[in-house]
Each structure stands twice: as structure tokens, then as C-alpha cells.
Amino acid sequence: MTVSTLPVARAPLAWAATAPRRRRPSRRPSHGGGEQNAMDEPTGPTEPTGSNRHRRWVTGRLAAGEPRVRLLCFPQAGGAAGAFSVWRPHLPAGVELAPVELPGRGTRRAEPLPDDLGALVGALLEALDDEFKRPYALFGHSFGGLVAYELALRIGQYGIAPPRAVLVSGARAPHATARAEPVHERDDAGLLEWLRGTGGMPASLLRQTGYVRSVLAAVRADLTLGVAHRRAEPLPLACPLHVFGGTADPVVPPAELQDWRAYATSAVPVTLYPGDHFYLYADPARLLADIAAVTGPGRSGFSR
């Protein structure tokens, strides 16, 4: 296990789930926590094909210089693609940031929330088909880590060019979800209390009751999908797997990140950074530099 020696920094508030347009979004995302039911059989997409639909799935794309690798990013439970906007000033040269917007939040808040993880992954597989045609990597934080892992498995089943790496952050391994607190079963007040305790709900937004309700609905839906999905045993990925986390994460403690070592056929590095569950938004420069280092040309997958 590697521990960064950077000083502890409090994560900036970067909530970017469904914030009203009249208000500048604060700088901290919502939380994603425990997750995960066996989902080995391929599930088809839930939407028709088309360029308009494809554009809905990836928003806020940014490349620093000539991109050598595309980084498809999946946020925490209830989070939107905009959560990764705080990464933009720190993007290393050669990396294309491609945040993925799931239905029911952010720019897609008018759409129904996902209610089946297999169907969601199937829709992602088709919608992101063009994204896989150049060197890419998958990054997912918390619930997004589960989505990234399951998408990588599905990619392998369909013979698509594999990612250079799957990068999982602050997430429990799919076979270990019984350890997660069932916060999705709480009422809205209880779920909100939990979000505030993890730093996932800025106080500045609490007075916007309609907004808070929509955020809680998205968080609850994602956490419910995660809890419903549990693998009896690990299925290793055919590509490299890297795991990241915060040294003081109260949601997924560092020791639990070790469970991911069974999910790849090669060694699985676990790297820790000072901070809590939202360490990745506090001081992302070191994390992004590490991501660029492990997704560079020749690391895995195909090179061009």
C-alpha cells in the first residue's frame, strides 16, 4: 500500500448533482457509499441509439494538449458529471477528461433514475461505444467504482478493446458489500444526516428544499442499486486494476480497499491520499498525476 505524503487538505465543496442554474455550484460533490447482486449475464441497452443520446452520456469533456488517453469518469452515488469540474485546472498533459452523466441528475435530471444496474451497464456499453475507439481508462469513485468495474467486465464479454486500466476510488469490492451500512433504508431526514456527516451535503444548499429532495432521490436510487448488487466471489479483470482512497475515509476505510486485490490477474496497487471520502476533490493534482502515470502508452490494452 502506498500513502501519499501530501498535507491533509479539506475537500472543497464541489456538489454538482442537480444544482439550480441560478446559483453557482458549490465545490463539493455528493457522496456515494456502499454498493452492490450477481450480474454476469449481459443486459441490453435501455435507450435507442443516436448521436443526441451519446452526447447526453458524456458532458464537460476537456483535453490537456494532444490527448493520449481518454479518462471516462463515473461519480459517487447521486453525483453528476459536474463533480469532476474541480479536476479541470489540474488535468495532466495528454489526458482527456470525459465525465459520464448518468440519468436522473445533472444535465439529465428530467430523466428517470436507473433502477437496474445490469440495464444501466448495458446502456453504457452501447452509448459509450465511440469512446472505446481510442486508448481509454475507466475511473469510478464509490458507487462509480462499482459501475466502472462492471462495465469493464462487460467490455471483456463483448470483445471490445480493453481499457488501459480500471481505476477504483473509495469503493467496496463487490463481494464485501455486506459491511456497508444500509443508509438507503433511512427516511429522508436520516439519509440527509448521513450525507452531512460524510461531507456530502454542503450546508449552503440545505435551504433549497426542492433541490435537496432531488439529490436525496438520486443518492437513494444509486445506493439501492449498489446494495442489490453483490458478487459471491471476485471475478478478475483482464486489464490492470488500480485502487485509490483517503487515509481518513469513514465510509470505506483503507483496510477494506485491500479486498480489490482479488479482482485482477496481476498485482493491484492500493494508493492512499490524505483526506476523507472526498479526498479526490480536495487536492486532485497528485491523484491525476498518478492516474496519468498508470494510463500512459504501453501500460495495457492497445496503443496507437
* pLDDT classification of 211: cutoffs 50, 70, 90: confident
* 142 belongs to the catalytic site: yes
Task: Tell me how far CA of residue 216 lies from CA of 113, 207, 221, in angstroms.
Answer: 12, 14, 8
Q: Is 72 helix (H, G, I), strand (E, B) or coil?
A: strand
Phi first, then psi: give them for residue 85, nearest 5 degrees: -65, -30
Q: Which three cell numbers stand for residue 56?
A: 447526453
Q: Among 4, 30, 142, 214, which one carries the catalytic annotation?
A: 142
Mind listing the pLDDT tens digit for each residue in 246-264?
999 999 999 999 999 999 9
Grid cell, residue 297, equals: 502508452
Say which DSSP state 92 is in. P
State how far the Cα of 51 lies from the Cα of 174, in Å rounded to an integer: 33
- Residue 16 pLDDT > 80: no
Lowest average pLDDT, out of 13-17, 112-116, 180-184, goes to 13-17
Contact 302, 161 (CB under 8 A): yes
pTM comes to 0.82
Q: What is the grid cell recorded at 64? A: 490537456
pLDDT, position 165: 98
What is the average pLDDT value for the chain, to the nearest integer? 82
Q: What per-residue confidence (pLDDT) applies to 40?
A: 34
Q: Give the tens place of pLDDT for each residue, 268-277.
A: 999 999 999 9
Residue among 72, 120, 70 at smallest CA distance from 96: 70
146-170 pLDDT per residue, tens:
999 999 999 999 989 999 999 999 9
Q: Give residue 301's region: left, alpha or beta (phi > 0; psi -120 to 50).
A: left
Q: Provide the 8-state DSSP code for 252.
A: S
pLDDT tens digits for range 31-85: 433 333 323 333 333 343 445 556 699 999 999 788 999 999 999 999 999 999 9
Q: What angle do CA 33, 222, 285 make, to 5 degrees?
A: 55
Cα distance between residue 153 and residue 72, in whole Å: 15
Give the fold, CATH level 3, of 2-294.
Answer: Rossmann fold (3.40.50)
pLDDT band at 9 (very low <50, low <70, confident <90, very high): very low
Higher per-residue confidence, 260 vs 27: 260
Residue 270, pLDDT score: 98
Looking at per-residue pLDDT, the higher value among 186 and 52 belongs to 186
Res 26 pLDDT > 70: no
